[in-house]
Structure formats: structure tokens, C-alpha cells
């Protein structure tokens, strides 16, 4: 089965912040998990480089838009290895192949009769690069996202006849009830569609920084259509000499933030239909990680709002896995929620260092000390067999639905169960009693097998940590066939180094 997952492409005008890391890590966990299961995976991320905001910022700095885009794209490219993103390609919308493919697809939309020329007048947010409909405008004629005053804009544009797709979009939502996830986002998108669709601008006349409209070279495509098409165009040139479109289109998951729901859940399927292309299977819409600011108000974390929890600082002090873990622990993926540095510190200490880290070092240490590192070849304790029964199927089922937080919680329940088991069986007591050697063998073998399974299941979440753990266990098999309790038998283990040392 093919599995194609994407992140939004990030707008190069912003500096990378936690929101970007969040979307990317979410998609990365799904990609890594599906690779474990032996699926044919393609994972795409990249940057969106066209549009008025980039042109304006470049002008202000006295550089060309391309120079600005090159410089800023590099910051996002550098973010990927830092957060351990395993993306297969990094797309830039200034790639020549992308631009040619955008022209190709939108020419088809034109030739299929879904495009017309007209005059557009409306309220426009230059930061969103988007016109706002009347019911989106905030009090005082402001952008609901940026809270800046909107400008009245009037220009001759090419229009995409979105209104003609209302019925087909409603049919799509009826026939693919998981097209948008989670459910409350599906309802939000569907009610937007049912509220009546207006045609949308497909081009801008007074801009040059974009992809030229092939049938009217005085225009460039509206940046949103150029950007959305990245998901489709990337497959045609991501691997030199190979076209992956047949193999991976339609996408399995577009992972996005809720601020771009309208574009992905309404415009995007409509433009694909207009081009005669299949629509994606799922759009997964995540919420915002909110931080309590100085006034006690909760705000979306974004550079433009000046309220930033720095992912780079977390990575530097605590490591990448700590960030990957925390992003999905306090706030359920798909919901809004509050994060804080205090909560982060608590989770790091209590869960990563104490619960998981201590379990790993304690269990390997006991096998090393009481059995010279040799894992006893005995049958496993039925209590743990039962505690782990069905776990890998549950995790796979949850991740099939991108329920990352719930999958992590299911795994973490077993981290706690194993710690409780160690406390109950007290191997250090058994070791003192020569008559209880068999009980000790069983306890050690049962715990260490649980630790091995946790390693396999946590691989997509904590790839660096699991690699260290698996060194100590002498077994690096993270494929899904190894995910069941009792699926493999470890031979020899070494005492694990501390997985989560105290931060400097």
C-alpha cells in the first residue's frame, strides 16, 4: 500500500517556529510508523515562496524576491534534520519543474471551462495574501488572524468558478466522511461549503513574483493555487528521471493547521476536480499550541504575534526527542491547547527521565547484574502478556487515523505498567533468595521483553532515544513484525546509558 503524507509548505517570510516544527513532526511520526509497517511511503515538506508579502519584504530590504526566498528557504531546509524529519523531498515553489507543472494543471482547469475573467473588489489582508469574505472580517475591518486593518482592493482577475463545485464538494463530503479529520473540522468545512461558495481569484494582475498565467502572461497565479499544487507537482520531479505521480497520488494525508482549512478543504479539492484529478484521502487539521502570555491571554504562537516558545532552545538543551514528545503530550493532536515551559520541564522529568529512562536503565542493569547480561530463556509472565495484548494493533489503528496523542498515551500506559511490574516483583529481593531463581528469570525476561516492545512502538516518536536503547538491547529490529510482546527473544543486553540526562 502506498502512503503519501505532506506538511503545509511554509511561507518563507516567517522564521521557523514551534508551529512549523509541530506540523512537520506530526507528519514525520505518521511517515516513520508507516515505514515500520512496510508501506511504500513518501513524505513531502517544503516552502512557499511566491506572493506579495515576499515581494514587499524584498523591496524593503533592497534585494530581489529570489534572493530573499533563497535565504529564507534555507532556514526551513535546515530545520528538517534538526527535528529529525525524515522527509523524502523538500519542495520549493520556485523550482522550475513546479512552475511548469502548475501552468500545466491550471491550463487544464482553464481548458475545461472553469475559469473566466472578471473584476474583483474586496477586503484584502496582505499578510494572508487573501481576500476576506464578509463573514470572516473581524470588528473594525480587521483580519481575524493578523488583527491588522484590511485594505479595499479592486482589480481585473481571472476567476476560478468555485461556486459551480458546491454540489460536487457536498457529495465528496458525503461519500468520504473522513475526508477532513478530526470531525469538528469536517463539520466546519462542510458548513462553510453549505453556506454558499463564491468564485475566487485565480490570478493577480499587478504582481510579477509568481507563476505566469500561460494564457494571459500579464498575470501571475494567485499564490494559494500555486502553493496548493505543490502536493501534486512534487511527485513528478522529486526523484530525478522518475515520475512518482501514479505511485503516490492521491495523497493519503495532508497535515495542516486550522488557519489554512478553507484552502485545503474547499479550494483544493475543487481545483483538483476542475483539473480532472483525484482528490486526497484525508486532510488532517491540527489546532494551535497556545502559550499563556504575560497578560494571561492565550494566543496562537506565531512570530507575527510576538509570542514564541523556541523549539531550537528545547532541542539544544534537552534534545530533539524531548520536543517531539512534548508536542503531542499536553495537547491532543487535532485540538487547541496550552503548552508552557513549566509543563515541558515537568513532563521531561517525570515521564521521559523517570518513567522511561529509569525503566530502561533499571531493567538492563538488573539483567547485567543478576544474569551477566544474558536474558533468561523462559516463558513470559502471563500478567504482562495480557497487559500488552493487542497493543500494537491499537497503536496502528490510532495512527491510521492520525491520532498521535492517543497512540502515544496507549504506549505510555505500558511504560507505567512495566514500572509497576518491576515494583511488584522486586527482582532485587528475588535475587537474594537462591530458591527463587526461576521467579527472577521470569521477571527479568518479562520486563526486558516489554522494554524491547516499547522501543519498537516508540521508534516513530523518539527515534534517537530508541536507537540508544536498542544498542543496549542488542536488537535494532523496529519493523512491525517485531512489535508484538513475545515476538522476538533478546539474547544479551548491556546496561543502557541514561536516555534522558539532566539538562545542562
Catalytic residues: 17, 20, 125, 128, 143, 146, 300, 303
Distance between CA atoms of residues 77 and 94, nearest Å: 14
Query: H or E stretch including 466?
Result: helix 463-473
| Binds Zn ion by CB under 5 A, chosen from 127, 436, 488, 495 | 127
| DSSP 8-state class, residue 374 | B
Residue entry with cell 499536553: 330
What residues have CB less than 8 Å from 93, skipping those under 6 apart?
Answer: 9, 46, 47, 48, 49, 50, 99, 211, 226, 227, 230
Q: Give whichever of 145 and 448 is closer to Zn ion, judged by the CB atom.
A: 145
143 interacts with Zn ion by CB under 5 A: yes
| Binds Zn ion by CB under 5 A, chosen from 85, 91, 106, 125 | 125
Q: Which stretch binds Zn ion (CB under 5 A): 20-28, 73-81, 119-127, 154-162?
A: 119-127
Q: Give whichever of 259 and 477 is closer to Zn ion, judged by the CB atom.
A: 259
Distance between CA atoms of residues 168 and 190, nearest Å: 12
Nearest-approach distance from CB 40 to Zn ion, in angstroms: 38
Q: Which residues of 172-194 are buried (b: 16+ CB within 10 A; e: fewer)?
A: bbeeeeebbbbeebbeebbebbe
Q: Give whichever of 127 and 495 is closer to Zn ion, judged by the CB atom.
A: 127
Nearest-approach distance from CB 258 to Zn ion, in angstroms: 14
Nearest-approach distance from CB 143 to Zn ion, in angstroms: 3
Q: Give whichever of 144 and 437 is closer to Zn ion, judged by the CB atom.
A: 144
Cα 322 off chain centre by: 16
Task: Give the residues across from 48 on adjacent strands.
Answer: 11
129 interacts with Zn ion by CB under 5 A: no
- CA dihedral 231→237→238→239, nearest 10 degrees, is 150
| DSSP 8-state class, residue 389 | T
Nearest-approach distance from CB 263 to Zn ion, in angstroms: 13
Distance between CA atoms of residues 208 and 365, nearest Å: 65
Q: Give whichever of 42 and 267 is closer to Zn ion, judged by the CB atom.
A: 267
Q: Which stretch binds Zn ion (CB under 5 A): 61-69, 144-152, 254-262, 361-369?
A: 144-152
Q: Which stretch binds Zn ion (CB under 5 A): 15-23, 139-147, 269-277, 472-480?
A: 139-147
Strands 2-6 and 253-257: parallel
Q: Give whichever of 145 and 339 is closer to Zn ion, judged by the CB atom.
A: 145
Return the SS3 of 435.
Answer: helix
Note whether 213 and 203 are within 8 A (CB): yes
Q: Which stretch binds Zn ion (CB under 5 A): 137-145, 162-170, 227-235, 369-377?
A: 137-145
- The tally of CA atoms less than 13 A away on the side-chain side of residue 415 is 22
| DSSP 8-state class, residue 478 | -
Q: Give whichever of 135 and 175 is closer to Zn ion, judged by the CB atom.
A: 135
Q: Which stretch binds Zn ion (CB under 5 A): 145-153, 184-192, 247-255, 390-398?
A: 145-153
Nearest-approach distance from CB 187 to Zn ion, in angstroms: 24
Q: Which stretch binds Zn ion (CB under 5 A): 117-125, 382-390, 437-445, 486-494?
A: 117-125
Note whether 188 and 261 are within 8 A (CB): yes
Q: Which stretch binds Zn ion (CB under 5 A): 112-120, 135-143, 449-457, 470-478?
A: 135-143
453 interacts with Zn ion by CB under 5 A: no
Q: For Zn ion, what does the binding mask look like between residues 67 and 106, x meaning CB under 5 A?
A: ----------------------------------------
Q: Which three cell numbers stand for residue 467?
A: 536507537
| Binds Zn ion by CB under 5 A, chosen from 146, 401, 417, 468 | 146
Q: How far is CA 430 from CA 74, 434, 441, in A?
A: 57, 8, 9
Nearest-approach distance from CB 123 to Zn ion, in angstroms: 10
303 interacts with Zn ion by CB under 5 A: no
Nearest-approach distance from CB 27 to Zn ion, in angstroms: 24
Q: Which three cell numbers stand for residue 65?
A: 524576491
Return the SS3 of 416.
Answer: helix
> Burial of 476 by CB count in 10 Å (0-12 exposed, 13-18 middle, 19+ buried)?
middle
Distance between CA atoms of residues 404 and 391, nearest Å: 14
Three-class secondary structure assignment of 48-105: ECCCHHHHHHHHHHCCCHHHHHHHHHHHHHHHHHHCCCCCCEEEECCCHHHHHHHHHH
Q: Give whichever of 55 and 235 is closer to Zn ion, judged by the CB atom.
A: 55
Nearest-approach distance from CB 134 to Zn ion, in angstroms: 15
Q: How far is CA 359 from CA 318, 475, 483, in A?
A: 19, 17, 18
128 interacts with Zn ion by CB under 5 A: yes
Q: Segment 462-501, which members bind Zn ion (CB under 5 A)?
A: none
Nearest-approach distance from CB 13 to Zn ion, in angstroms: 12
Return the SS3 of 244.
Answer: coil
Q: Give whichever of 75 and 146 is closer to Zn ion, judged by the CB atom.
A: 146
| Binds Zn ion by CB under 5 A, chosen from 105, 106, 145, 211 | 145
Please report, as ranges, the residues that interact with Zn ion according to CB under 5 A. Answer: 125, 127-128, 143, 145-146
Amino acid at each position: 500500500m502506498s502512503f503519501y503524507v505532506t506538511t503545509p509548505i511554509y511561507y518563507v517570510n516567517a522564521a521557523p517556529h514551534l508551529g512549523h516544527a509541530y506540523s512537520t513532526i506530526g507528519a514525520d511520526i505518521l511517515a516513520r510508523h508507516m515505514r515500520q509497517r512496510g508501506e511504500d511511503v513518501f513524505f513531502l515538506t517544503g516552502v512557499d515562496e511566491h506572493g506579495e508579502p515576499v515581494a514587499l519584504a524584498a523591496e524593503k530590504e533592497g534585494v530581489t524576491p529570489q534572493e530573499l526566498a533563497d535565504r529564507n528557504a534555507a532556514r526551513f531546509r535546515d530545520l528538517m534534520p534538526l527535528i529529525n524529519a525524515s522527509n523524502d523531498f523538500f519542495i520549493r515553489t520556485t523550482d522550475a519543474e513546479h512552475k511548469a507543472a502548475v501552468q500545466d494543471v491550471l491550463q487544464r482547469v482553464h481548458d475545461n471551462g472553469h475559469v473566466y475573467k472578471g473584476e474583483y473588489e474586496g477586503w484584502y489582508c496582505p499578510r494572508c495574501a487573501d481576500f476576506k469574505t464578509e463573514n470572516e472580517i473581524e470588528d473594525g475591518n480587521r483580519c481575524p488572524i493578523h488583527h491588522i486593518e484590511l485594505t479595499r482592493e479592486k482589480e481585473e482577475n481571472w476567476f476560478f468558478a468555485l461556486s459551480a463545485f458546491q454540489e460536487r464538494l457536498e457529495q465528496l463530503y458525503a461519500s468520504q466522511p473522513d475526508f477532513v479529520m478530526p470531525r469538528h473540522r469536517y463539520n466546519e468545512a462542510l458548513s462553510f461549503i453549505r453556506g454558499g461558495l463564491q468564485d475566487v481569484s485565480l490570478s493577480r494582475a499587478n504582481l510579477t513574483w509568481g507563476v505566469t498565467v500561460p494564457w494571459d502572461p500579464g498575470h501571475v497565479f494567485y499564490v494559494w493555487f500555486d502553493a496548493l499544487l505543490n502536493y501534486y507537482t512534487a511527485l513528478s520531479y522529486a526523484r530525478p528521471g522518475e515520475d512518482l505521480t501514479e505511485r503516490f497520488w492521491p495523497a493519503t494525508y495532508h497535515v495542516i493547521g486550522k488557519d489554512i482549512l478553507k484552502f485545503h478543504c474547499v479550494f483544493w479539492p475543487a481545483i483538483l476536480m476542475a483539473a480532472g484529478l483525484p482528490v486526497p484521502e484525508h486532510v488532517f487539521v491540527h489546532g494551535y499550541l497556545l502559550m499563556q502570555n504575560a497578560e494571561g491571554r492565550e494566543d496562537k504562537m506565531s512570530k507575527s504575534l510576538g509570542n514564541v516558545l523556541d523549539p531550537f532552545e528545547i532541542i539544544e538543551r534537552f534534545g530533539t526527542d524531548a520536543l517531539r514528545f512534548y508536542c503531542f503530550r499536553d495537547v491532543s493532536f487535532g485540538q487547541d491547547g496550552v503548552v508552557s515551559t513549566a509543563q515541558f520541564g515537568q513532563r521531561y522529568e517525570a515521564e521521559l527521565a523517570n518513567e522511561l529512562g529509569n525503566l530502561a536503565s533499571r531493567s538492563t542493569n538488573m539483567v547485567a547484574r543478576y544474569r551477566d547480561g544474558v536474558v533468561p530463556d523462559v516463558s513470559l509472565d502471563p500478567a504482562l502478556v495480557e497487559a500488552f495484548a493487542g497493543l500494537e494493533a491499537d497503536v496502528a489503528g490510532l495512527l491510521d487515523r492520525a491520532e498521535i496523542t492517543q497512540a502515544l498515551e496507549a504506549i505510555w500506559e505500558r511504560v507505567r505498567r512495566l514500572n509497576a511490574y518491576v515494583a511488584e516483583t522486586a527482582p532485587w529481593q528475588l535475587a537474594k533468595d537462591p530458591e527463587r531463581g526461576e521467579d527472577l528469570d521470569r521477571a527479568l525476561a518479562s520486563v526486558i521483553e516489554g522494554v524491547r516492545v516499547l522501543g519498537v512502538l516508540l521508534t516513530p516518536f523518539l527515534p534517537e532515544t530508541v536507537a540508544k536503547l536498542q544498542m543496549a538491547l542488542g536488537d535494532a529490529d523496529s519493523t512491525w513484525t517485531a512489535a508484538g510482546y513475545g515476538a522476538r527473544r533478546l539474547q544479551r543486553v548491556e546496561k543502557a546509558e541514561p536516555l534522558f540526562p539532566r539538562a545542562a
